[in-house]
Amino acid sequence: MSIQVIKKKQKVDYVIIPYDEFITYADEGLIDVAYIQDVLSDSLGGEIVDFNFEDYVDNPVHLLRLNAGLTQKELAEKMDVTQAYISKLERTNPVSTKALKKVSDLLK
């Protein structure tokens, strides 16, 4: 199962699951059918709203990593550091210019 968790200020705001898994849960009765119909209805009147990490992520290192499509572990491997270090960078505010430049240069 591929689950994405989106946090804002260290609080979980959204949990995203693939559509096929969502439908499977519905078929198994794990999600209320009325709720599914509401979710799948076009409540925005046909308008598609783009998802932007910038709306939810304040930390520039975290934002760079998400936009690059990397996990903390993958970025850590590219930088030859630990995943814990990346986690710490993503919780630091403000991020040092040196650390931000290193991540930015690596992901170009």
Nearest to 9 by CA among 76, 99, 93: 93
CA distance 51 to 75: 22
72-108: pLDDT as tens digits: 999 999 999 999 999 999 999 899 999 999 999 999 8
Q: What percent of the chain has pLDDT over 70?
A: 83
Q: Tokens at residue 77, please?
A: 């491997």
| Model confidence pTM above 0.75 | no
User: Is pLDDT at 26 greater than 80 in this prediction?
Assistant: no
Which structural domains are found in the chain, ordered by start?
Answer: 4-40 (no CATH), 54-107 (1.10.260.40)
Sign of the torsion formed by the C-alpha atoms of 69, 74, 11 and 29? positive
pLDDT at residue 16, as a whole number: 85
Q: CB within 8 A of 16, min separation 6: which ones? A: 3, 4, 5, 6
